[in-house]
Structure 1
């Protein structure tokens, strides 16, 4: 039986810990914060419940394989309502005929274009799934015994000659429909003008596998993982800060803002509560590396009286100038002047998330990092930016029963993500998705990375896949 220490109780760390415990390892999870979850957090206030991080689940089988009936999954339909600066709007369903009809009624020809685009995305998914569900593609290595060799045609299926922007323009004629396609770049924290076309699969999975809510909130996944770990006698310790990984024979690799570099074999973890011995260490923290970091987000949570008639579970409101938004984030490094707003009101699907007659409105705007590369001081600017978003929403102040927020600065303090970068390094460049820090830390035997800032990427499905992949690479006890 190997002794495994997982540093960080985000979803990726918890999922990896559960896979390893089921494989016979003795597992300990260390979390510096007061509760498990990491970026997947929950805020309860005045009878209103908010998921302060991920607010949508796709590929639900990845959750049910771990938790079974511990979670109650609810399908969300329509998936999203999209609103545009010209006043028009359209709702997309995961059901292809329904989506086609809605798009044709909104913009003749758009339905046919969208079906053609989804066909391209389906081929991309087939070309990507082996990479997403397996070890990192770089550096190359021989297939495992019995596994098929890589298919060179998969590289062509992901269209590496395209960015997400050029793919959308080559396939979709309506400029508004292109915005919907380009939105997938932000699911990896990227600028669609520089993001690889392969990120189109991030939007595709909503239509291929549906959009889902967990009754009681997405945070129920965290609670379910913690409960399952308890049944396997895994010790989950909160309020314990991991200071570094100790190597056999001496030497300490600090866990912080810098990259993990060293030589040797892990011996355990130095923590604020003493030394924890380990044969294997899995780091579920920010996988630092060279390159531009992803965007962050400014999240505002509003508990509202008198639910808005016709509210949808998910809504995206696009600005008049989408390019200006990414110029603000990645070039000027300032709060976005006219941001795209993502709205989620889970009480539409799950009325228990808000008091009777009310709604829990989660509002997210893309944001530059906190005090990184000339980025703003979000502690100083948060009040003014909150007022700007409220003005944009045009909500009667009398309706606001409670409010809370989570800024890039908050995200950095709570999770250790440098500057509040949600996804670690931004996957810019046509092969950007292949340059994430690998799961195995080079040169250090027994040290692994897991979570949304390493392979295969961010978002709940990929984070869960990361946990499964690392556990498989470590192997059975």
Structure 2
């Protein structure tokens, strides 16, 4: 939709063909008995991406279409040893002080020093990973580690951290700080033991740009973008499954729909998972040798929606991260050879202060989320695992539950078409390019890719940037050098 709105403003006639009956991909909503829940992302990082979209596509700014609320504290963390820390939103000094008070003198300084190094990684990768089309010589991004790790003496050798886990162990030197760091990778389904140190940009982005909530839930952002598209005369066709991308004389000519109907087009922008795109483009290689290969996601999400009796207590944190009691066991369960849902996993608890989500002030809507392997078959009892973990943050939770609903990887697969309900991670530098995503351009003339499975990868900010990049490549041509 971000690409569609920008292309319509640029003078193109744009039609969106959507397999399901609504817009927004995984950004969905469940409503029942006066309760309302987001089933996709629950918080918005880097809202400037979406502010830019609304500035570039109409007179009404984003804040005129949705209400943005800065979340403070940014998050409350409940660590394995029972200690807790509530981190202020977008305040380095505040976070340093909060960590020193909660975890002991010196912990805040180590985290603050880490954020300074993470800023260097951000400055080195922000343009190529978010604001520019993927470089033709993308191998440079794959080979160079942008994070300036501190030299570490180990067994008579001086080494530098190459993974996020090593940054935590060697530079932060506190298992709670390491868990805080690694939770940012785990939230995207990444194994911190193999994720490059460049992933330091993930907590840095949250620290600098803050964490935001859209009043009414993130589905309201999807609604606002959809309405901006329709205001710009974008046509939407729901329940219209594309079964093939048509070619003529070496370039795209349109799409074929289920039932055999053909929609002719000069350009096609595909926002689908790699396996789906391979099936749609018959007899032609979408990606060539030497290009970033399409990534197949390995991680998904399990979400438990809780309707609770009793109101939300004053002063409750919007987001609480309850860290796994056994970090190594969790990582081995999720990413080991016999990947499966972990027992007592890290759980994110969202408790929005939003009267519009509940029938009255005597009730509360809570969402629990954990990472699970893509394609995992989740037994019904597993929701109890998440509830048991969440009780460390919400004492007496089980006794307050009126009802609960579960959203599994199969539900994500139905909404997005991604195999196994996989959720794409954002693009990251280093790591031999394992976490880069393919270019938005393809070998098929006139065919472009957008969304989490292409550059710059998954996440709401990245979705908006991919729309801007595709629009730039189409409007300005292959010489387009990136967003300003």
2:333 matched to 1:334? no
Contact persistence 2:295–2:437 (CA under 8 A): no
2:405 matched to 1:418? no
Contact persistence 2:141–2:429 (CA under 8 A): no
Task: Provide the C-alpha distance between the structure 2 equivalents of 1:83 and 1:469, rounded to a whole number of angstroms.
Answer: 39
Give the secondary-structure state (helix, strand or coil) at the position aligned to 1:188.
coil
Q: Pick from 7, 16, 27: which aligns with 1:40?
A: 27
Give the secondary-structure state (helix, strand or coil) at the position aligned to 1:50.
strand
Contact persistence 2:452–2:462 (CA under 8 A): yes
Q: Deviations over 1:137-168 (max 9, x none)?
A: 44328xxxxxxxx9999854566962111122
Give the secondary-structure state (helix, strand or coil) at the position aligned to 2:24.
coil
Task: Provide the C-alpha distance between the structure 2 equivalents of 1:219 and 1:366, rounded to a whole number of angstroms.
Answer: 21
Task: Provide the C-alpha distance between the structure 2 equivalents of 1:35 and 1:152, rounded to a whole number of angstroms.
Answer: 37
Q: 1:71-150, aligned counterparts within 5 Å?
A: 71-93=66-88, 94-106=90-102, 107-140=104-137
Q: Pick from 355, 361, 365: which aligns with 2:366?
A: 361
Contact persistence 1:128–1:158 (CA under 8 A): no
Q: 1:26-425, aligned counterparts within 5 Å?
A: 26-67=13-54, 68=61, 69-93=64-88, 94-106=90-102, 107-140=104-137, 156-157=146-147, 162-249=162-249, 264-272=250-258, 274-288=261-275, 293-309=297-313, 310-331=315-336, 332-346=338-352, 348=353, 350-354=354-358, 355-370=360-375, 376-378=376-378, 381=379, 383-394=380-391, 395-423=396-424
Task: Give the C-alpha shift of residue 340 in structure 1.
Answer: 0.3
Contact persistence 1:25–1:476 (CA under 8 A): no
Give the secondary-structure state (helix, strand or coil) at the position aligned to 1:200.
helix
Q: 1:414-453, aligned counterparts within 5 Å?
A: 414-423=415-424, 430-432=431-433, 435-441=436-442, 443-453=443-453
Task: Provide the C-alpha distance between the structure 1 equivalents of 2:191 and 2:299, rounded to a whole number of angstroms.
Answer: 9
Alignment root-mean-square deviation, CA: 2.5
Task: Give the C-alpha shift of residue 132 in structure 1.
Answer: 2.3
Task: Provide the C-alpha distance between the structure 1 equivalents of 2:10 and 2:294, rounded to a whole number of angstroms.
Answer: 34
Corresponding residue for 2:57? none
Single out whichever of 233-242 and 428-437 deviates more from structure 2. Answer: 428-437
Task: Provide the C-alpha distance between the structure 2 equivalents of 1:384 and 1:34, rounded to a whole number of angstroms.
Answer: 30
* Structure 1, gaps ≥5 residues long: 1-13, 142-149, 250-263, 371-375
Task: Provide the C-alpha distance between the structure 2 equivalents of 1:453 and 1:156, rounded to a whole number of angstroms.
Answer: 23
Using the size of structure 2 for normalisation, the TM-score is: 0.83
* Distance change (3 Å), C-alpha of 1:32 and 1:431: same
Contact persistence 1:138–1:434 (CA under 8 A): no
Task: Provide the C-alpha distance between the structure 1 equivalents of 2:28 and 2:171, rounded to a whole number of angstroms.
Answer: 37
Task: Provide the C-alpha distance between the structure 2 equivalents of 1:23 and 1:140, rounded to a whole number of angstroms.
Answer: 29
* Distance change (3 Å), C-alpha of 1:433 and 1:77: farther
Contact persistence 1:188–1:294 (CA under 8 A): no
* Distance change (3 Å), C-alpha of 1:424 and 1:118: closer
Contact persistence 1:76–1:212 (CA under 8 A): yes
Contact persistence 2:427–2:456 (CA under 8 A): no
Give the secondary-structure state (helix, strand or coil) at the position aligned to 2:365.
strand
> Would you say how many aligned residue pairs link Structure 1 and Structure 2?
431
Task: Give the C-alpha shift of residue 424 in structure 1.
Answer: 6.6
Task: Give the C-alpha shift of residue 294 in structure 1.
Answer: 3.1
* Distance change (3 Å), C-alpha of 1:132 and 1:387: same
* Structure 2, gaps ≥5 residues long: 55-60, 150-159, 276-292, 478-484
* Distance change (3 Å), C-alpha of 1:392 and 1:111: closer
* Distance change (3 Å), C-alpha of 1:410 and 1:40: same
Task: Give the C-alpha shift of residue 96 in structure 1.
Answer: 1.6
Task: Provide the C-alpha distance between the structure 1 equivalents of 2:386 and 2:419, rounded to a whole number of angstroms.
Answer: 24
Contact persistence 1:319–1:339 (CA under 8 A): yes
Task: Provide the C-alpha distance between the structure 2 equivalents of 1:425 and 1:128, rounded to a whole number of angstroms.
Answer: 12
* Distance change (3 Å), C-alpha of 1:187 and 1:466: farther
Task: Provide the C-alpha distance between the structure 2 equivalents of 1:425 and 1:58, rounded to a whole number of angstroms.
Answer: 13
Task: Give the C-alpha shift of residue 188 in structure 1.
Answer: 3.3
Task: Give the C-alpha shift of residue 135 in structure 1.
Answer: 3.7
Task: Provide the C-alpha distance between the structure 2 equivalents of 1:343 and 1:179, rounded to a whole number of angstroms.
Answer: 16
Task: Provide the C-alpha distance between the structure 2 equivalents of 1:63 and 1:135, rounded to a whole number of angstroms.
Answer: 17
* Distance change (3 Å), C-alpha of 1:290 and 1:476: closer
Give the secondary-structure state (helix, strand or coil) at the position aligned to 1:401.
strand
